[in-house]
Structure 1
């Protein structure tokens, strides 16, 4: 069963919250973020402001996958993770 828009946003937000709270993650989480972003950007009804945040998250995900130290990468993004989580609260 495919996830609807709200489910995808909730899952995306949950992963970002976990990265923010735990300061650690895994390659599979970055891959999941990438898949969610791609799916959400295909939604024609999505607001442009959401698309710009999704583009940033896609870059974060790709950089995390290519990082030699995933936990340091997450630590470097702590402030940004907080901003993204807050922005999704405003979009929903």
Structure 2
């Protein structure tokens, strides 16, 4: 059963919030971020500002997937993670 728009936003929010709170994560979580954002971007329910935020989140996930120091990558994005979680809260 595929996840609907709200479920996808909640999943994305949960992963980002865990990265923010725990200051660590996994490559598979970064891959999940990428997959979820791609799916959301294909949906017709997005406003331009949501697309901009999702594009930033996608870039974060992609960079995290390829970095050798994922925990440092997450640590360096703490402010953005907080902002992204706040944005998602507004749209879900």
Q: How many corresponding residue pairs?
A: 92
- The C-alpha deviation readout for 1:59-82, integer Å capped at 9, x for no partner, is 001110111100000000000000
Runs of 5+ consecutive residues of structure 2 not aligned to the other structure: none
Runs of 5+ consecutive residues of structure 1 not aligned to the other structure: none
CA RMSD after TM alignment: 0.6
Q: TM-score, normalised by structure 1?
A: 0.97
Match of 1:28 in 2: 28
Of 10-19 and 45-54, the range deviating more from structure 2:
45-54
Alignment of 1:5-20 (within 5 A): 5-20=5-20
- Cα distance in 1 between the residues matched to 2:87 and 2:23: 20
Q: TM-score, normalised by structure 2?
A: 0.97
- Cα distance in 1 between the residues matched to 2:34 and 2:81: 15
Alignment of 1:62-77 (within 5 A): 62-77=62-77
State the secondary structure of the residue aligned to 1:79: helix
Match of 1:58 in 2: 58
